[in-house]
Structures are given as C-alpha cells and as structure tokens.
Amino acid sequence: MPSSVELIQSLVNGVGIGLVYGLIAIGFCVIYNASGIVNFAQGVFVMLGGMFAYSFLVQIKLPLAVAAAISIALVAAIGVLVQILVIRPMWQRKAPMFAIILATLAVQLLIEQIIILTFGDQPRTYPEFTGGGPLKIGDIAIDYQLFWILSCGALMVGLLTLFFNKTRIGRALRACSQNREAAALLGIPVGGMLMLSFALSAALGAVAGILITPTQYTSYSVGGPFGVNGFIAAIIGGFGSAPAALAGGILLGVVQSAAIVLFGAGYKNVIALTVLLIVLLFFPRGLFGGLAKRA
C-alpha cells in the first residue's frame, strides 16, 4: 500500500496533467458544438504548440511571451487551413460524419510526417517558465509550472465563458451549436463560424502544448495520446460547457495518476478507460450532462 505522501503527490501531478487534458477537451467541444465533428487531429495541435514554442524559444531565442503568441497564432492558422482544405470540401459534399472523422485522422498522420521531415523525430523540451522550484510542502513537491498551468487554465476558461456569453461572435457560435439551420436563417455565417471554431480549438491545443512541454517533452508522436485523453475528458465532461470539460480532464488526470501509484504504470489506461466506461453506462450523456438533467 503506497504511503499517503505518494498518494497526495500523485494527486498533485494528476491535477496538472488533468488541466492540460481539460484544455484539449475544450478544444474538442468547441468544434463538436459548432459542427458535430469530432476532430481527431486535436492532439496534433498540442504537439505543434510545443514544437513551435521550442523553435522560437530555444532556437531563435525569442522572449517567452512573444514565442508563445507567435506559436499560438501559427497553430490557429494551421487549424483554419485544415478546415478550408479538408473539412469544408467534405462538408459541402455531405460526407458521412465518420468519413470526416477519418479524414481528421489522416490530417494527423500527414502533419506528423511533415514534422518528422522538417523538425526531425528527436524529443525536445525547454525549461519551465519560472526557474527554481519545485515548491516543497512537507514531503510533497509541486513544480512551479503547475501554477502556470493552473492560472492559464483558469484564465482560458474565464475568457471562453466571457466570449461565449458576452460577445456577439461567441453567441453566434452557440446559436450554431443549437440549431445550424435556424442560425443560418438569422444571418449567421455558419461556414465562417466553423472556420472560427477550428482556429479557436487549434489555439487552445497550442496553449495546452506550450504549457505541458516543460514538464515532459514534445515529439512528433505525442499528439495521439493527448488527443485520446482529451477526448475521454470531453466525454466525461459531457461536451457541454468549458468548465465541465476542464473538470472532466482533472478527474481523468487524477484517476490516471492514482492508478499508476496503486496498480503500476502498465494499467493506467485500463483503469482510466474502465472509469470512462462506468461513467458512460451510468451517465450516458456525460457526468455533468447527466447531473444537470437530474438537478
């Protein structure tokens, strides 16, 4: 039986990785709500965010804020490009939904291969945003980066909530998610909204990638696991609001970290996925969707 220190330490680590899953999950939700498409290339945006940030920070030696801003803008542009070149033509030809999902998988393969050819296949990382650390509370160590992830996560959720509730464009996006045809009749450019949702969710993925890379590493292949975990988090959260997706991510991260301590690293996915199955069976519309309906 692991000690309580180990358990609490794993909890802290779990919250950190879970917040990142949450940010990716929000990215899934933004596109899904605007279009019904599950973008499996979401994890690639995380990888691209880390990769670009590495290039600007370490190779070109730009200051952190500038490097992050340029990386996010670039990844958002790639998101728009994916929408224009792949999603829109399929959308217009009324392709079956799962064919579009398959196409996003092909996009992931394509981008990963381009990254291997341009950046190489070596894993890379850069230092944490604030040096020193980790913060010690008793025997528990907390990386300073965790506070960056926490505060940026809170900031993103706050901004998104404001965006979706207070701005005209945000409300238009929500209108699209409720009823695309009615939204179109009200004069909302639905196609443009779809493009915007890809830009937004790519940017969210990039933020997640820039935040998480210092605590581990990034390489061309990290997109897949991040995408899968982010999607699981979105399902647990119920594809509803940004805070629900974030909560789903934290829950998943904590369960995974606890599973590593209790059962060993090999079974972390088995445990996490079993939790997902249980959640799905008892709350078929996600943990928070189900709870909201009962309340």
Partner 1 sequence: MTLRVSISTRLGSYGTFAAISAVGIALLFALVFIQGGYLLTVMQLAMIYGVFCVGLNFFMGYTGQASFGQNAFAAIGGYGTAILCVQFGWEPVAALVASMAIASVASLVVGYPTLRLRGHYLAMATFALGLITYDLSVQWTSLTQGYMGYAGIPPLGIGRFVVEDERLKLVCLMAILLFSLWLSGRLRNSRFGRALRAISTSEAGAAALGIRISQYKLAAFVIAAVYASAAGSLFAHTVGFISPEVFGLQMVVVTFTMLYVGGVGTVLGPAIGAIIASLLPEIVRGAGRFQDIAYALALLVLLIYLPKGLSTLADLGKRRPAEQGGGN
Q: Is residue 291 within the footprint of partner 1 (CB under 8 A)?
A: no
Instruction: Considering the complex, state which of residue 66 and residue 106 has its C-beta at the smaller distance from partner 1.
Output: 106
* Closer of 61 and 282 to partner 1 (Cβ): 282
Q: What is the DSSP letter of 59?
A: I
The single-letter code of the amino acid at 69 is: A
Whole-angstrom distance, CA of residue 278 vs CA of residue 295 = 20
Structure-token pair, residue 104: 């996003």
Minimum Å distance from CB 290 to partner 1? 11
The set of long-range contacts for 118-122, using a CB threshold of 8 Å and a minimum separation of 24, is 119/51, 119/55, 119/220, 121/219, 121/220, 122/219
Angle, alpha carbons 87-90-94 (nearest 5°):
130
- Is residue 31 part of the contact set for partner 1 (CB under 8 A)? no
Cβ partners under 8 Å of residue 295, min gap 6? none
Site for partner 1 contains 135 (CB under 8 A) = no
**For residues 115 and 41, is the Cβ–Cβ distance under 8 A?**
no
The three-state secondary structure class of 136 is strand
> Measured from the CB of residue 200, what is the shortest distance to partner 1 in angstroms?
20
Applying CB under 8 A, does 65 fall inside the site for partner 1? no
Site string for partner 1, 246-275 (x = CB under 8 A): --------------------xx-xx--xx-
Taking the complex as a whole, the smallest distance from the CB of residue 255 to partner 1 amounts, in Å, to: 13
Rule CB under 8 A: say whether 232 interacts with partner 1.
yes
Question: What is the H or E stretch that residue 137 is in?
Answer: strand 135-137
127 in contact with partner 1 (CB under 8 A) = no
Among 63, 120, 127, 284, binds partner 1 (CB under 8 A): 284
Closer CB to partner 1, residue 105 or residue 262? 105
| C-alpha count within 13 angstroms, C-beta hemisphere, residue 292 | 12
Tokens found for residue 12: 């802290």
3-class DSSP assignment, residue 133:
coil
CA dist 72 and 265 (Å) reads 32
Q: Output the smallest distance, CB 224 to partner 1, in A.
A: 8
Nearer to partner 1, 99 or 135 (CB): 99
User: Taking CB under 8 A as the rule, does residue 178 contact partner 1?
Assistant: no
138 makes contact with partner 1 (CB under 8 A) = no
- Site map for partner 1, 85-124, x if CB under 8 A? -x--xx--xxxx-xxx-xx-xxx-xx--xx--x-------
Residue 131 CB, shortest distance to partner 1, in Å, is 38
Angle (CA) 135-141-147 rounded to 5° is 55
Binding site for partner 1 (CB under 8 A): 32, 38, 86, 89-90, 93-96, 98-100, 102-103, 105-107, 109-110, 113-114, 117, 224, 228, 231-232, 235, 239, 266-267, 269-270, 273-274, 276-277, 280-281, 284-286
